[in-house]
Amino acid sequence: MNGLHFSLVIPAYNEEKRLPNTLRIINKYFQEKSYDYEIIVVDGGSTDRTSEITKEFQKVNPRIKLIKLPKNRGKGFHVRTGILNSRGKYIIFADADSSTPIHEVEKLLYYLENNYDLAIGSRHLIESTIIQPQNWIRRQMGKIYNKFVKLIGLKNIKDVPCGFKGFKNEVAKRIFSKIKLTGFSFDAEVLYLAQKFNYKIKEVPIEWKNSTGSKVRLWSDPLLMTIDLIKIKIYEWLGYYD
């Protein structure tokens, strides 16, 4: 790991509108930190200027790295690629829309530095601050999804799909080398494996603001995500996680 303290992984697909502001804020924030870090943008086959924008920021800050994939393989695959190429002692992935402000990484790092293997952001704890919630339909679908998650044996976690999670390096590498799902349900698979491997998980209240332009398709993706939950149990029965 060469003494690198922290890696931030940002999956990005056609994010030319939201990514510049996100990188600008993140770049300013980390330049004021004393620890060494890297920011890895994984461009999952974008057809817009996502890669070009990242390269422009690289000229200002060489700690920003770009992994450009030839095609869109799904958010889970993009996050997995970024994490398996991360060198930091601690690794956090966050969405390109800055729905969780970058200063919230300090909360996750605190627990990772204090004997937790995973620290995951949660919008559903009493202490969480929701500045702008999702619309009613998306909130209800999220609640239904969380009920299905419990059916596969993933318990005691209130916000499985939140796109703000942190890991110790060796924990992240072990989990993400095992995951099979490439779509939006990869979060459930990651946490399922974390519990299977008896890792210590801390769910952390965060500040969160809904961002327009979600890549989750309202009517088709929830069905695909539910099917993916069934796949997790099938993979378990087949011994793929051993």
The answer on pLDDT for 92 being more than 70 is yes
Give the model confidence (pLDDT) of 6-55 as tens digits. Answer: 999 999 999 999 999 999 999 999 988 888 999 999 999 999 999 999 99
Domain ranges of the chain: 6-237
Model pLDDT for residues 140-183, shown as the tens digit of each residue: 777 778 788 888 888 889 999 999 999 999 999 999 999 999 99
pLDDT at 214 over 60: no
Cβ proximity of 232 and 189 under 8 Å: yes
How many other C-beta atoms lie within 10 A of the C-beta of residue 114?
A: 9
**6-237 in CATH: which number?**
3.90.550.10
Distances (CA, A) of 20 to 12, 26, 53: 11, 10, 7
The mean of the pLDDT values for the chain is 92
